[in-house]
Chains A and B, each alone.
Chain A
Amino acid sequence: MTTADNRVLVLLPPRPFGGRARGSGYEVMMAAVDDGFVEFVRERSSTLLRTARLLCAGDQGAAEDLLQDVLARVYCRWNRIVGDPEPYVRTALFNAAKHRWRRRSRRVAESRWDETVVGEHLSHHDGPEDRLAARDEAMRALAELPPRMRAVIVLRFFEDFSEEQTANVLGCSTGTVKSQTSRGLGKLRGLIDLSGKAAAEPVEEPR
């Protein structure tokens, strides 16, 4: 292994995507836009879908629809995004979820986590039922939270966002984030084990 005392890491991340097309002509530009967009979606959609799934309290179909809608909107603005598009997409995802919740009276009820996922996993995997039950419990608990509170919890504890970042994404004050976090944790305490003991149990073979 090379010793590298003279090789000092400089954190200068490359520009992530060719948002601005190179070359000339509309076709060339659109091809570059499409390539960059598809590449981004291919690489990051699983990650984004996990967030969407939590925002939809475990409903895979609703999460996929939500993310597809967001990506379709983002595509229309793709060549105007400068820098890493993921923060933009992630913010758009939370905003879309917010608007979706406002329209919730018109939407189809979300599938229950246990109906859509747990049953499928139980029938096909050899993993311990306890782990699946824990996931089911987590999604049921999330489903009990009001949408805005759920978003705060997901941003703070899944995305590891600070209170300020969370407030920026959700367009509210840090005070609101604090109170929603506190209330959310209070609710979740009664629904899932947050003592750390359950989390310390090994997850033997997630897939």
Chain B
Amino acid sequence: MTTESEALAQVLRSAVSDVDTPAGFAEAALRKGKRRKQRMRASMVGAALAVTAMLGGLLSGVPSWRADSDRLTPASDVRLSTPTTGDLAGDAEFLANARATWERELAAHVEVGASLARAGCWDAVGQPHVSWANSSSAGPVALVMQALRAKGSCDSPLPPGGLVVVGLFGTDIADGKQHLMGLDAGGGGVFLIGPDTVVVALQESQARFFSRRAEYAADGTASREWTPFIFQDGVAVAAVAEPDSSRGSAAVFVKHKPVDPGAAVPPQDRVRPVETDAVRARVTGPGNGLPLPGLQWTTLKGHLSGPLLSLTERRQRFTDALDHFRLTDPAFRGWYTSDRAGVNQPGGWDITAQLPDGRTVIVSEHVAGHENESYAALFRGDRAERVVRGPKIDRAAALPVVVRLPDAQGWVVAQQGAALRWRSAGGAWNLVPGDAALLPDAADTVEVTLPGRTAVEVALPR
């Protein structure tokens, strides 16, 4: 692309780099899709009946399309009338507090946290019901549920027959007080809470196994061990945190146990949890939840030399290479071809260069959980020959990207927007034209100067 085209692409990407969907967006889309399907079915049945009536005067029976909407009536949900279970079921004060908090904070979760409906477009039906209350290492927790229904003439994503939502009541580590921590509207029914990441899973979520983290072997390949949930009273509680994990990878919940610990997990088998810290941040904070992971670089001048590939191709090659060598978390590996398009991915930066031995390299980051690491994928022609794992990326470091290439092919370094110089053995400084560079293997020091800041010397790790 020309400079002008690249500049426009950067402007557009930068303009929407922090755009994210609200929580519950997928569930809302599903409900809207179902409603649309019902309407289409109803209109088809209506048309058929009208034709029948015109032809034969026959107009009788209950339309078959009514069956679906009838099934959605929350009054038929037996969960709302079952006795409270759990070891705190007899703690009247705790249960009352859970219900009172639910009534006080439900609106924020419906309208902001889960984006189920806009203000004035929904009503809570009946009283909140505590179905389960128990002790946990994250403090006392309770599952509260209540039926909601659409109100007024809003185009609400709530189904016409209403919807029973389930929420987790517990302690927010941000303020140490008890709150409604998150709402599930029929999606997963798996909640994560507390500093030690306790998981509360409902049996109806279909989640049957969990994996605390991806395990990485010495050669960088990733796999996951799976532990079955043990349900009692329809709820399983487990601690999924791995505070000692050197690579922050997310806990994953699945319906079926993968046969091979290193095999990719089919997306339809995963059950996505409600991450209550993110939900609370959304409800109470600036409205944007937790910060996006990764460097979030959008203006790095990453093409250094070699064939000029489109951004899509660069991202695809890089991700394919990591997946192929099983360096990525199997729970998130190789989902969709378009997932690798990269154009809209947050932090979709990369550095491409031709190496002295003729190979080409793509250096970028791979985000696992809340951490990200740098990788260099080496290609001979179109073939991915090798992938080298660089150090964990520290976005606050003076030089966040430092990857030493194998076979004495040099170093790839980068700091968006910085002026870079390098030298070896105390020799003269060599100025680099951009904010990313391929340095000779002999380089041992890089000087990084961000605009308006003093220069920092970084010793390359050998």
The 8 A CB mask of B14-33 against A (1 = contact, 0 = none) is 11111111100111111011
* Stretch touching chain B among A72-80, A91-99, A100-108, A170-178: A72-80
Alpha-carbon distance A4/B380, docked complex (angstroms): 12
Question: Chain A residues with Cβ under 8 A from B387's Cβ?
Answer: 1, 4
Alpha-carbon distance A134/B32, docked complex (angstroms): 35
Question: Chain B residues with Cβ under 8 A from A18's Cβ?
Answer: 266, 268
Alpha-carbon distance A73/B39, docked complex (angstroms): 12
Known: A44-B338, A84-B336, A202-B416. A68 touches B32 (CB 8 A): yes
Task: Check if B417 sits within 8 Å of A202, measured CB to CB.
Answer: yes
**Is B5's beta carbon under 8 Å from chain A?**
yes
Task: Check if A76 sits within 8 Å of B296, measured CB to CB.
Answer: no
**Is B48's beta carbon under 8 Å from chain A?**
no
The residues in B between 321 and 336 inclusive whose CB is less than 8 angstroms from any CB of A are: 321, 324-325, 334-336
Known: A49-B21, A138-B11. A194 touches B4 (CB 8 A): yes
Alpha-carbon distance A3/B219, docked complex (angstroms): 9
**Is A144's beta carbon under 8 Å from chain B?**
no
Task: Check if B7 sits within 8 Å of A195, measured CB to CB.
Answer: yes
Task: Check if B18 sits within 8 Å of A206, measured CB to CB.
Answer: yes
**Is A109's beta carbon under 8 Å from chain B?**
no
> Interface size bucket, A side?
35 or more
Task: Check if B324 sits within 8 Å of A9, measured CB to CB.
Answer: yes
Question: Chain B residues with Cβ under 8 A from A45's Cβ?
Answer: 21, 25-26, 29
Question: Chain A residues with Cβ under 8 A from B104's Cβ?
Answer: none
Task: Check if A207 sits within 8 Å of B28, measured CB to CB.
Answer: no
Q: Quick one: closest A residue to B376, CB to CB?
A: A1
Alpha-carbon distance A8/B219, docked complex (angstroms): 17
Number of interface residues of B (CB under 8 A): 87
**Dominant secondary structure of chain A at its interface with chain B:** helix
Known: A71-B29, A76-B33. A120 touches B299 (CB 8 A): no
Known: A7-B325, A41-B25, A160-B343. A71 touches B33 (CB 8 A): yes
Question: Chain B residues with Cβ under 8 A from A9's Cβ?
Answer: 320-321, 324, 383-384
Alpha-carbon distance A138/B12, docked complex (angstroms): 7
B272 → chain A, closest Cβ, in Å? 6
Alpha-carbon distance A135/B129, docked complex (angstroms): 46
- Tell which of B17, B221, B286, B287 touches A206, judged by Cβ atoms closer than 8 Å: B17
Task: Check if B298 sits within 8 Å of A206, measured CB to CB.
Answer: yes
**Is B13's beta carbon under 8 Å from chain A?**
yes
- Tell which of A13, A38, A201 touches B187, judged by Cβ atoms closer than 8 Å: A38
Task: Check if A17 sits within 8 Å of B336, measured CB to CB.
Answer: yes
**Is A34's beta carbon under 8 Å from chain B?**
yes
**Is A5's beta carbon under 8 Å from chain B?**
yes
Task: Check if B36 sits within 8 Å of A73, measured CB to CB.
Answer: yes
Question: Chain A residues with Cβ under 8 A from B386's Cβ?
Answer: 1-5
**Is A167's beta carbon under 8 Å from chain B?**
no
Q: Which among A37, A72, A73 has the greatest number of chain B C-beta atoms within 10 A?
A: A72
Known: A14-B264, A60-B19, A68-B28. A2 touches B219 (CB 8 A): yes
Task: Check if A44 sits within 8 Å of B339, measured CB to CB.
Answer: yes
Q: Quick one: closest A residue to B13, CB to CB?
A: A158
Task: Check if A125 sits within 8 Å of B20, measured CB to CB.
Answer: no
Q: Quick one: closest A residue to B14, CB to CB?
A: A203
Question: Chain A residues with Cβ under 8 A from B341's Cβ?
Answer: 47, 86
Task: Check if B310 sits within 8 Å of A160, measured CB to CB.
Answer: yes
Task: Check if A160 sits within 8 Å of B32, measured CB to CB.
Answer: no
Question: Chain B residues with Cβ under 8 A from A8's Cβ?
Answer: 383-385
Q: Quick one: closest B residue to A35, CB to CB?
A: B268
Known: A1-B388, A75-B36. A159 touches B343 (CB 8 A): yes
Question: Chain B residues with Cβ under 8 A from A203's Cβ?
Answer: 14, 17, 296-299, 416-417
Alpha-carbon distance A43/B418, docked complex (angstroms): 33
Task: Check if B344 sits within 8 Å of A17, measured CB to CB.
Answer: no
Task: Check if B12 sits within 8 Å of A154, measured CB to CB.
Answer: yes
- Tell which of A34, A87, A198, A199 touches B338, judged by Cβ atoms closer than 8 Å: A87
Alpha-carbon distance A26/B239, docked complex (angstroms): 37
- Tell which of B40, B296, B344 touches A50, judged by Cβ atoms closer than 8 Å: B344
**Is B337's beta carbon under 8 Å from chain A?**
yes
Task: Check if A39 sits within 8 Å of B37, measured CB to CB.
Answer: no
**Is B35's beta carbon under 8 Å from chain A?**
yes
19 more contacts with CB within 8 A, not counting A37-B30, A138-B12, are: A7-B325, A9-B320, A17-B268, A39-B267, A41-B26, A50-B16, A60-B19, A68-B25, A71-B29, A75-B29, A75-B33, A86-B336, A124-B285, A125-B286, A153-B8, A194-B7, A201-B299, A203-B299, A207-B288
Please name 17 pairs of A and B residues whose Cβ atoms are closer than 8 Å in the assembled complex, sorted by A.
A11-B320, A18-B266, A37-B29, A37-B30, A41-B26, A43-B335, A46-B19, A46-B344, A53-B16, A75-B36, A120-B286, A131-B14, A157-B12, A160-B310, A202-B450, A203-B296, A206-B298
